[in-house]
A and B are shown apart, each in its own frame.
Chain A
Amino acid sequence: MNGMFVHLPLLIIMIPFAAAFIGPLNGFLFRSWIRRIVLIALSLNLICSILLALQVLSSGPFDYYLSGVAPPLGIALYADYLGACISVLISGIALVAVFYSAGIIPELGERRTFVFYVLLLLAIGAMQGIVFTADIFTLFVLFEIQAISLYGLVAMRGDGKGLLAGYKYLLIGSAGSAMILIGIGFLYISTGTLNMHLMAELLPPVSGSYTVLAGLALLIAGISTKIGLFPLHIWMPEAYAYGPSIFPVISTIALKVGVVAIIRVVYTIFGSSLAIQTIPLESILALLGAVAVIICSILAIRQVDIRKMFAYSSGANIGCIMLGLGIATIPGVEGAILHMITHTTAKAGLFLCADIILIQTGIRYVHEFKGLSKAMPYTMAAFSIAAISMVGLPLTGGFMSKITIASAAIADGITYYAAILLFWTLLSAVYFYRILNNAYFLEGTLSSTIREAPLRILIPIFIISITTILLGFFVEIPMALIRPAAGLLLGGGF
């Protein structure tokens, strides 16, 4: 293996962290350079992620030992198909989001924009770490770095509602972190190691004990607060509604990273214990997911603020991913990972369009959208493409992932989950139809001063829309990584 490629997992984690520390260092002199630093760091990061993905694809997963010390004593990173795939997703979407946002975010002002970008870099670095780490305590520490950055980002505008949303997120998230920490302690006393792969080898003899089961339950509950799985989604609507400009996009990536952590816990650590059926986990995850899908969609229909509506829609999509993971067959896990990609792309498009509309016109409620398609045709076109992918109509990425999960459910003989997914498609069509109907088919009383956004802002949106459509046609490109990822996670062949 080429010498440089070996260090790629560490590089991918360290580039955003290093940039986050370089930012404040020169920031006192050249505060306006921060966006350039972020763009350069994230571009480098994306290049490294793609190189790593190609490397993993050609020569298989590999371990990276920090300081060269092997796992029982040292800390390991593990570059596998899943990590490489999600790493490209993280740096790609973050790069587009930063490319979209202006040099000085209007609602934040110069000084706060600077802090915003530094926190964003810290969050991205922590996310890249979570997808690659093979050490469960490192996972906890990185989760905390990510969480503290995100709490700060939510409250960044400094107004009352933002602060309250941030405090709510902080309380729920910290309680979740405490649960993760206890869960790690329980697994540590049962196995005596913190490395995920060693833990997986040592767990099967003790996997029926109450200690291990309690540890698993606490880990799942703790990570569920981070990903907003249904009963613990309550921080999401306020955080999305009152957070600054591109925070929802960053949070959408953070949710997927939390799902990767769940996959690591359930399939990497407990995979071999699941195989001998001591833990009825599949049914629990799938049931939680199905409940989240239905209830979050119904809550989304009731919302009038589109950012809150999209937050509940995220909750439903997380439920769908959990459902796919809970089916626990190779097609189910493949569908879940594919849905992580398609949902992140489409949701990033929706949030960016919503942000443009908010900045250009001040519109944030569904009933105000009347006649908007005439004033802002390109933005609404991109919005519609993302919405169509979210609903899951054919020719978009969302259709491919939903149909994969649904057919996996049918193939596994649990047809009612496929029925729930179909019903959910109907529900999400209802709330997106309301927006699109207002925008395209109703005459509005918009003021004539509303204009289309400038081209510099539209380009990132077009990139996301085109990616959303291309995912529907060239689904084999991500699937090249996802197939071996699912095969590896479930312990089967490729």
Chain B
Amino acid sequence: MTILDSGFILGHYNYWVAIILIMIGLYTMMAKRNLIKKFIGLNIIETAIFLFYISLGDVSGGIAPIFQKESGETAGNTILYANPLPSAMMLTAIVVALCMTALALSFAVLIYQQYGTLDARKLMEEL
């Protein structure tokens, strides 16, 4: 299967969505001059990563990984569960991203109080 095959592209659409979102986020980080907008770009990247991980855990035909005693598997009846590990990892990563956002916004508030602007180009001349 080559990389330009339409089946390949459509079959991996979750990865393409993540890659496109990461590119949008990177562009925002580099092109925007407002410090808060730069960080919004980073948040887009992080969200794309969360989507990427959560789509990794999906098993086609699998159900939510909650094990119940009465619905235990019998010989002819195998239950497919989705992989819970990526979602669990993303819970941690979401907390980390939230901390970063809180820290960045509080920095931005203090910087605005000191300099009266959030324009990265003007601020970097101060540094």
Contact = CB atoms under 8 A, between A and B. Distances in A.
A171 B114 contact: no
Q: Which of B22, B39, B49: most chain A Cβ within 10 A?
A: B49
Contacts of A152: 103
Interface of B is mostly: helix
Nearest to B35: A167
A117 interface: no
A66 B115 CA distance: 48
A137 B104 CA distance: 23
Interface in B16-32: 22, 29
A488 interface: no
Interface stretch (A50-58, A178-186, A469-477): A178-186
A158 B39 contact: no
A144 B103 contact: no
A189 to B, nearest CB: 6
B126 interface: yes
B27 to A, nearest CB: 13
Contacts of A160: 111, 114-115, 126
Interface residues of A, number: 31
A161 B126 contact: yes
B107 A155 contact: yes
A188 interface: yes
A241 to B, nearest CB: 9
Interface string A156-198: 0011110111111011001101100110010011000010000
Contacts of B35: 167
Contacts of A182: 22, 49, 52
A84 to B, nearest CB: 27
A141 B104 CA distance: 18
B104 A167 contact: yes
Q: Which of A137, A170, A174, A182: most chain B Cβ within 10 A?
A: A174
B96 A144 contact: yes
A334 interface: no
A238 interface: yes
29 contacts: A137-B89, A144-B99, A148-B100, A148-B103, A152-B103, A155-B107, A160-B126, A161-B126, A161-B127, A163-B110, A163-B111, A163-B114, A164-B123, A164-B124, A170-B104, A170-B107, A171-B38, A171-B39, A171-B104, A174-B42, A174-B104, A178-B42, A178-B45, A181-B49, A181-B93, A185-B49, A185-B52, A188-B56, A238-B127
